[in-house]
Structure 1
Amino acid sequence: MTEKHIDELSGVETTGHEWDGIRELNNPMPRWWLLTFYATIIWTIGYTIAYPAWPLISSATKGVLGWSSRAQLSETMGQVADSQAAIKTAIAEKSLEDIVKDDSLYRFARAAGEAAFKVNCVQCHGTGAQGFPGYPNLNDDDWLWGGTIQDIYQTISHGIRYNSDPDTRVSEMPAFGEMLTGQEIRSIAAYVKSLSGEPSNPALAEAGKQLFVDNCASCHGEDGRGDQTVGAPNLVDAIWLYGATEADIAAQIRKPKHGVMPAWHARLGDVTVKELAVYVYSLGGAEQIQ
Structure 2
Amino acid sequence: MTEQTDPRQLPGADPHTGNRKVDPVTGYDTTGHDWGGITELNTAFPKIVIWALVLTFLYSVVAWILLPAWPIGRDYTRGLLGLDQGEEAVSGFRALSEERTDWLDRFTTPDFAALQSDPALLEHAMPAAQRLFGDNCAACHGSSGQGGPGFPVLADDYWLWSGDPEEIAVTIRDGINANDDSRIAEMPSFGWMDRPERASLADYVAALPAGAVDASGPAAALFTENCAACHGDGGEGGLGIGAPSLTDAATIYGQDAETVFQTISHGRIGVMPAWAGRLSEAEVNLLAVYVAALATAGGGGAE
- Shorter-chain TM range is 0.7 to 0.9
Q: Is the 8 A contact 1:156 1:273 kept in 2?
A: yes
Q: Does 1:197 align with 2:210?
A: yes
Identity of aligned residues (%): 35
What do you get for the CA RMSD once the two structures are aligned? 2.7
What is the rounded CA distance, in whole Å, between the counterparts of 1:205 and 1:74 in structure 2? Answer: 68
Over residues 224-276 of structure 1, what are the superposed CA-to-partner deviations in whole Å (9 max), with x where a residue is unaligned?
A: 11024111101011232122321210111122110111111221110111121
Q: 2:279 aligns with which of 225, 246, 268?
A: 268
Q: Does 1:126 align with 2:142?
A: yes
Displaced runs of 4 or more, over 6 A: 202-205
Q: 1:60 aligns with which of 76, 87, 90?
A: 76
Calculate the TM-score normalised by the size of structure 2: 0.83
Higher helix share: 1
Residue 245 of structure 2 corresponds to which residue in structure 1? 234
Q: Does 1:251 align with 2:262?
A: yes
Residue 199 of structure 2 corresponds to which residue in structure 1? 186
Q: 2:182 aligns with which of 168, 173, 177?
A: 168
Over residues 78-133 of structure 1, what are the superposed CA-to-partner deviations in whole Å (9 max), with x where a residue is unaligned?
A: 21112212112222235122111111222333222211111111221122321121
Residue 69 of structure 1 corresponds to which residue in structure 2? 85
Paired residues, number = 282
- Give the gaps of 5 or more residues in structure 1: none
Secondary structure of residue in 2 paired with 1:93:
coil
Q: Is the 8 A contact 2:185 2:270 kept in 1?
A: no
Residue 234 of structure 2 corresponds to which residue in structure 1? 223
Over residues 114-167 of structure 1, what are the superposed CA-to-partner deviations in whole Å (9 max), with x where a residue is unaligned?
A: 11111111221122321121111111211122111111111111100112xx33
Alignment of 1:4-83 (within 5 A): 5-8=21-24, 10-15=26-31, 18-83=34-99
Find the structure with the greater CA-based Rg: 2
Q: Does 1:157 align with 2:173?
A: yes
- Provide closer, same or farther for how the CA distance between residues 121 and 15 of structure 1 changes in structure 2, counting only shifts above 3 A: farther
Cα shift at 1:19: 4.1
- Provide closer, same or farther for how the CA distance between residues 34 and 148 of structure 1 changes in structure 2, counting only shifts above 3 A: same
What is the rounded CA distance, in whole Å, between the counterparts of 1:83 and 1:16 in structure 2? Answer: 72
What is the rounded CA distance, in whole Å, between the counterparts of 2:72 and 2:36 in structure 1? Answer: 49
Q: Is the 8 A contact 2:186 2:270 kept in 1?
A: no
Q: Is the 8 A contact 1:160 1:169 kept in 2?
A: yes
